[in-house]
Amino acid sequence: MKKIKSTLLFILLLLAIQFSIAQSKEIEQLKNDYIESAHLNVNETKIPIVKWENVDTLKYQIIGDLKYISQKNWIQFTKEIENLTELKIIETNDNAETHIYIYFGELNDYFLRFNSVIPKQLYSDFDNWHNRKYNNQKQLIESSLCIVPSKTKDSKRGVFNLKKLFLKSLGLLGEVNDKNSMFYKHQTEENTYFMRKDKRIIKIHYNNSIKAGMTVQQVRIALNSIDLSALVKEKL
């Protein structure tokens, strides 16, 4: 009987160790995925974090008709983000109150509307664009995104662009190497809905330990102060 108990205890201990190792690997992967998702890579250099700070409500304005997604599913999407960021997200028609503009139309019209310089490398087949403004502390003060219906090949592509660019409007400017993730560079058959990992990344970005203006090195230190073990256990 003692031998059986000892064997069982050994098995349980071994399973606990294996679980701990697996969770540690998952946490390290999550850290790396967050860093890749949050930092825009420009000429092989990751720029500091940008995000909304000192606001508890984000107001967006839709210019043109909402396309590719029903009003119900759009609200469901913004509600998911509310739950993850603890920011209230509401629609407005008041330019003075708008934080995020969602523009459906041609790129040239979009650039004229927002008084933006047309990029030199603007290809004729571009079906989307994103722009943002932030202060010296890298705190976002305005963001806009453009979806070009005439260049959008199908509804799934439209949904992907709309959701991905809205996430960029929250400051999540990078990409991960996972075709199932909404933070993947391209639209795939699987990435028009949040993975659990995507939700964790959004939640980390709006954790109070992550500050606008942080470098990669500073983010790595901040991630050690967040209870990521609890996050990977959370049923998001």
Q: Domain span at residue 224?
A: 32-233
Total of domains in the chain: 1
CATH number at residue 120: 3.40.390.10
In a domain, 123, yes or no: yes
In a domain, 135, yes or no: yes
Instruction: Write the single-letter amino acid at 16.
Output: A
Return the exposure string of 65-94: e unless at least 16 CB atoms fall within 10 Å of the residue's CB, then b: eeebbeeeebeebbebbeebbebebebbee
- The one-digit pLDDT tens for each residue of the chain (236 residues) are 656 666 665 555 545 455 455 557 899 999 999 999 999 999 889 999 999 999 999 999 999 999 999 999 999 999 999 999 999 999 999 999 999 999 999 999 999 999 887 787 787 889 999 999 999 999 999 999 999 999 999 999 999 999 999 999 999 999 999 999 999 999 999 999 999 999 999 999 999 999 999 999 999 999 999 999 999 999 99
In a domain, 24, yes or no: no
- pTM for the model: 0.89
In a domain, 19, yes or no: no
In a domain, 194, yes or no: yes
In a domain, 37, yes or no: yes
In a domain, 9, yes or no: no
In a domain, 189, yes or no: yes
CA distance 138 to 115: 21
